[in-house]
Amino acid sequence: MGGHNAKFMMTAERAEISLENRWNVEALYPSLEAWNKDFITYQDWPQLTTFKGRLGEGPKTILELLKYYLAIESQLVRLYTYAHLRHDEDVAHDGHKQIFIRITALLQKFREAAAWIEPEFLQLPQNILAAYLRAPELADYKIYLEKIVRFKPHTLSVAEEELLAGAGLALETAERAFGALNNADIKFPPVVDSQGKEHELTHGKYATYLRSPDRLLRENAFKALHHTFLGFENTLCELIHGEIQRHIFFKKARKFSSCLQAALFPHQIDESVYLNLIATVRSNLHVLHDYMKIRKKLLKLDELHMWDLHVPLLSSVDIKMDYAEAEKMVIASVAPLGANYQKDLQTGLKEQRWVDRFENKRKRSGAYSSGCWGSMPYILMNYQGHLHDAMTLSHEAGHSMHSLLSWKTQPYQDASYPIFVAEVASTFHEELLLRHLLSQMSEKEQRAYLINQKIEGLRSTFFRQTMFAEFELKLHQLAEEGEPLTPTLLKAEYRKLNLAYFGPDVNLDSEIDIEWARIPHFYYNFYVYQYATGIAAAHSLVDVVAKHGPKEYLNFLSSGGSKYPLDLLSLAGVDMREPEPIMNHIRHFEKLTQQLLQEIP
């Protein structure tokens, strides 16, 4: 190992990252001691059981219960937020791992203790439930209670609900085990470039290498990463199978017809929205195939391989951006959303330290936005200095501003926006950044480079995520039919999808067959389709804002979970019940490919 260390720059240890480049977790709790003090305070909830058997007394009793229950829950979520942020800074840090496990267990204990509430509430006669929904005392909790009442056909007895709640932590084992393997235990070998120089391979650096003009480095990185996962194919197959069995268990227990219905029902999303996305994209894959043909031609390659799909088409241009510059561009790009919005974002990024900026050893891979009601948003980054990273910062800042406006405007019970709309604000931000950057550049090569990056963003966030959604649906359907999920089956199904989506101009290297094994989103229970629907909705909404101003869009961002997701989007000006936003987005992709050809010198 010592010989390798001398040949490439090693990733920093957490202690070597300066304070200004770390997120301000201390704003949640100034120390572990302060966290522990709160943890002890909220370990017991003696009043919770005093409400048992009393939910039919009237609106006043329901109001008292909701205030008590939600106050405890919000504090536990705050404790969890601090612990998970600390844990993700270095997933092998023993002290942070301990508090993360402790709060995860306490949340589970709280869920078990409160598991009687919904079934007892739903056992009340329908006329009493209807009266509660009309009661003036409960007006602030109307949508919260409506969402519970919708679950009446899928809620079990008090004893059965308590049993399900008690099993929750054990049933999350597959997801947690994958996270531990993917973020901490798995190690990749160094990779060699065309000059014989060795490079450290990490999750964060992998994306950078795939964009390198050095084709051998791209190939070696692609093969090394996927061969490493291939070495764990049986374990990873069992983990993903375990996650799907968890979904099947809940589907059966709650009397849903399918895992898909069980996942979409809580947010009042019809299965047709999911199936319509796949069908519409499937029938228009020729636009993606045409782009692959263009990519192959512009790169002047006899064979277009999977490791050639991310490298910029213009080798003479590589827009690099240090973090400070990216931050400045992201802030400037949101001007169409108004001065107050822009100021809030600037304050968060520049003064309040929302962002944990750079990669360090054992830091969680990827990027996300987190936080909780009553806190600032927190953004995890592994910034590497490329345009892609600036786009990722913009994306996560979109999530954070959505959260900030929801938290500012809505009470705790309505502040969490539904998953279905979660990707709208983030992809809206990306579109604004692209338009801003294009407005700053006059050189054809740079404009072509940016358009190419946008096309790649759409390919990965729209087409690729739809492919993931189709794969996820297929696995659940196979498992529901009793088909054994083996590594051979998973690789074969994944290969078939890649063949269909990428078309005849891409040489499907065998390593791509195992890619499913490294995708964390397959443990999120039908989450990925929302990237595709979200980006389609966001594209339509950018046009709405350009024509009519940001008022309705800002109302959408401020609405949190106070309405059902499809209704939220309808108020902002787009109807995702119809195929038109999906088709509109596919046409946009097609136009961008034509624009690219016009801009390339």
**CATH number of the domain that 543 lies in?**
1.10.1370.40
Pairing state of beta strands 355-356 and 378-380?
parallel
CB 198 within 8 A of CB 4: yes
CB 489 within 8 A of CB 463: no
Is 351 within a domain?
Answer: yes
Distance, in Å, from the CA atom of 279 to the CA atom of 466, rounded to the nearest integer, reads 10
Residues 6+ apart with CB under 8 A from 31: none
Token pair listed for 415: 């502040």
First to last CA, the chain: 46
Is 541 within a domain?
Answer: yes
What is the identity of the amino acid at 190? P
- From the list 120, 175, 396, 493, the catalytic residue is 396
> How does pLDDT run across 228-282, given as a tens digit for each residue?
999 999 999 999 999 999 999 999 999 999 999 999 998 889 999 999 999 999 9
Is 115 within a domain?
Answer: yes
For the chain, the residue count is 601
DSSP assignment string, 9-72: PPPPPGGGS-GGGS--GGGT-SSHHHHHHHHHHTS--TTGGGGTT-TTS-HHHHHHHHHHHHHH
Q: Name the domain boundary from 148, 171, 194.
A: 171
Q: Name the domain boundary from 117, 151, 171.
A: 171
Distance, in Å, from the CA atom of 295 to the CA atom of 301, rounded to the nearest integer, reads 9
Distance, in Å, from the CA atom of 542 to the CA atom of 535, rounded to the nearest integer, reads 10
Domain enclosing residue 330, as ranges: 323-447+528-588
With H, G, I as helix, E, B as strand and everything else as coil, classify residue 320. strand
Is 396 designated active site?
yes
CB 308 within 8 A of CB 295: yes
DSSP assignment string, 424-491: HHHHHHHHHHHHHHHHH---HHHHHHHHHHHHHHHIIIIIHHHHHHHHHHHHHHHHHTT----HHHHH
Is 483 within a domain?
Answer: no
pLDDT confidence band for 312 (50 / 70 / 90): confident
* pTM for this predicted structure: 0.81
How many Cα atoms are found within 13 Å in the side-chain-facing hemisphere of 296? 17
Tally of structural domains, the chain: 2
Instruction: Check pLDDT > 50 for residue 171.
Output: yes
Is 214 within a domain?
Answer: no
pLDDT confidence band for 468 (50 / 70 / 90): very high
**In this predicted structure, what is the pLDDT of residue 9?**
59
Residue 101's CATH number:
1.20.140.70
pLDDT confidence band for 387 (50 / 70 / 90): confident
Q: Name the domain boundary from 136, 171, 206.
A: 171
Q: How many CB atoms lie within 10 A of CB 132?
A: 22
DSSP 8-class letter at 380 = E
Q: How many CB atoms lie within 10 A of CB 143?
A: 16
Is 443 within a domain?
Answer: yes
Is 440 within a domain?
Answer: yes
